[in-house]
């Protein structure tokens, strides 16, 4: 595969804790394009820590509007703008993304207008185009194509897996989803499948620690996939490598990589990466952050 995939944030859910990982965001460099998929808290720092200038931002995709995927989208673009962004950026996301973006630039109106006048910057509002998409083809631009599949993430209906293709390389993002068999067809033969994952024994510990336990367990089980289910999708799809991200739990000191591997190995025996922040993944394997 050509290109580079960097896991910027690998934690499922919006809360962060001291020393813990960051919510979901991923950097994909493919076919000369710089793509960010999901913009959870920490994405801006993550992009720069990956050695990339914010001025290189090009395409941003949001899988759904849960805050652990969109909270830092506005700040990412605004910070890129103050870092000297001079080229247009296109934001792709489900219905509601345009409202998010318009509300963000409205909230920052004072700062944006004063910097245009005071520092001679271009108008950020004219540099960003928002494209709201549904299922099917999202983008076809030269050799790069992106398609979307609606997945099963109740009560959110507008949540989409994404498939990026460039000259025979394909990368699929599951987005947040319960076990969803159609995803196997969508991910068929991909070089890399990034799939969200939850660990059953970790969920039990999480639920035990939280006041609203039974309700939380119900939500998690209805809306997310167990690690073994992610392995089943990977096996049915025949992907080159399975990467687990959006880990639940991601910051339980008593749960380590070995626990995740043990759970996935029941259904998937191919190349496997358990996500952690800063990890660089290729179809050959991974480089430590």
Positions marked catalytic: 68
Q: How many of the chain's residues bind Zn ion (CB under 5 A)?
A: 3
Q: Map the footprint of Zn ion across residues 50-89, applying CB under 5 A.
A: 66, 68
Q: CB under 5 A: which stretch of 76-84, 128-136, 175-183, 261-269 binds Zn ion?
A: 175-183
Q: CB under 5 A: which stretch of 90-98, 171-179, 229-237, 270-278 binds Zn ion?
A: 171-179
Q: CB under 5 A: which stretch of 26-34, 73-81, 126-134, 170-178 binds Zn ion?
A: 170-178
Q: CB under 5 A: which stretch of 100-108, 131-139, 169-177, 206-214 binds Zn ion?
A: 169-177
Name, in order, each residue with C-beta under 8 angstroms of 270's C-beta and a sequence gap of 6 or more: 234, 235, 239, 240, 241, 242
Q: How far apart are the first and last CA of the chain?
A: 20
Q: Map the footprint of Zn ion across residues 23-42, applying CB under 5 A.
A: none
* Stretch 220-259: interaction string toward Zn ion, x if CB under 5 A: ----------------------------------------
Q: CA-CA distances (angstroms) from residue 274 to 71, 200, 217, 254?
A: 24, 16, 23, 16
In whole angstroms, the minimum distance from the beta carbon of 198 to Zn ion comes to: 11
Name, in order, each residue with C-beta under 8 angstroms of 93's C-beta and a sequence gap of 6 or more: 61, 62, 63, 64, 65, 70, 100, 130, 131, 132, 133
Instruction: Cite the DSSP H helix spans in 42-177.
Output: 43-49, 67-70, 73-82, 97-107, 109-119, 124-127
Beta strands 33-39 and 59-61, pairing class = parallel
158 binds Zn ion (CB under 5 A): no
Instruction: Cite the DSSP H helix spans in 224-283.
Output: 227-237, 257-264
Nearer to Zn ion, 77 or 197 (CB): 197
Distance between CA atoms of residues 242 and 70, nearest Å? 24
Nearer to Zn ion, 81 or 260 (CB): 260
- Kindly tell me which residue out of 38, 152, 158, 176 binds Zn ion, with binding defined by CB under 5 A: 176
In whole angstroms, the minimum distance from the beta carbon of 15 to Zn ion comes to: 11
In whole angstroms, the minimum distance from the beta carbon of 48 to Zn ion comes to: 23
Q: Is the dihedral of CA 63, 66, 69, 74 positive or negative?
A: positive
Q: Which residues bind Zn ion (CB under 5 A)?
A: 66, 68, 176
């Amino acid at each position: 595969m050509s290109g580079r995939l960097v896991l910027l944030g690998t934690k499922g859910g919006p809360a962060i804790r001291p020393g813990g990982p960051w919510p979901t965001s991923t950097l994909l460099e493919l076919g000369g394009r710089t793509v960010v998929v999901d913009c959870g808290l920490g994405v801006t720092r993550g992009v720069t820590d990956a050695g990339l200038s914010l001025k290189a931002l090009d395409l941003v995709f949001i899988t759904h509007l849960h805050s652990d995927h969109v909270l830092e989208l506005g700040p990412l673009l605004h910070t890129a703008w103050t870092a000297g962004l001079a080229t247009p950026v296109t934001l792709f996301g489900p219905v509601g993304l345009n409202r998010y973006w318009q509300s963000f630039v409205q909230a920052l109106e004072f700062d944006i207008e004063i910097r245009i006048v005071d520092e001679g910057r271009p108008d950020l509002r004219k540099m960003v185009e928002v494209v709201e998409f549904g299922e099917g083809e999202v983008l076809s631009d030269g050799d790069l194509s992106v398609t979307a599949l609606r997945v099963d993430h109740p009560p959110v209906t507008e949540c989409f897996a994404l498939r990026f293709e460039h000259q025979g390389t394909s990368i699929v993002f599951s987005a947040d989803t319960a076990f969803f068999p159609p995803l196997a067809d969508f991910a068929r033969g991909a070089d890399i499948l990034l799939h969200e994952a939850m660990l059953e024994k970790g969920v039990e510990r999480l639920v035990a620690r939280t006041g609203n336990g039974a309700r939380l367990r119900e939500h998690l089980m209805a809306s997310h996939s167990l690690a073994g289910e992610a392995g089943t999708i990977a096996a049915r799809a025949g992907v080159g490598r399975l990467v687990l991200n959006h880990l639940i739990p991601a910051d339980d000191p008593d749960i380590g990589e070995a626990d995740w591997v043990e759970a996935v190995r029941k259904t998937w025996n191919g190349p496997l990466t358990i996500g952690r922040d800063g990890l660089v993944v290729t179809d050959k394997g991974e480089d430590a952050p």
